[in-house]
Structure 1
């Protein structure tokens, strides 16, 4: 309890806890360390697919090819960019993908 700055019971019954600043874990960002997959040309997240269309200008800015993107998509079982609602390169070099099938209304 001495490490806790703030705690709240959520409506779903879970407990959210924020530790005191001095007790919080150090992150790579805190230490200015980039991940092993980090691309030095990515200073902020950049979209590479929007509504199924590849944003080739953004790929070029990051010195990445369309083939590189296609290879990453195939690794996740995606055969064509049209299957993707949104994809972006994160600052750590990872590719975030939101498939169109995931966006169905409930």
Structure 2
């Protein structure tokens, strides 16, 4: 890896900002709960939409699985410290997750 590439990687990592590990328990819990509720609702909606398109029992059974929307992707990225608290709070304030973040 070149020196320039190493510098760019370090800058990108620093651009993420503080992650979930630096929050106090109350703030962490509030963000965790908000993200979990939004992800759950969106994932359920995606599943129900897929089921609604089915005409037979076999088709419905084939739709069992994992449905993850943007909120779930944001939640997972936040828990894995790949996205900072500021971005998460921005999404919660806006009420949606821009495609760029996912």
- State whether TM-score is above 0.5: no
The higher relative CO (CA closer than 8 Å, separation ≥ 6) is in 2
Higher helix share: 2
Provide TM-score, normalisation by structure 1. Answer: 0.28
Bigger CA radius of gyration:
1
Higher strand share: 1
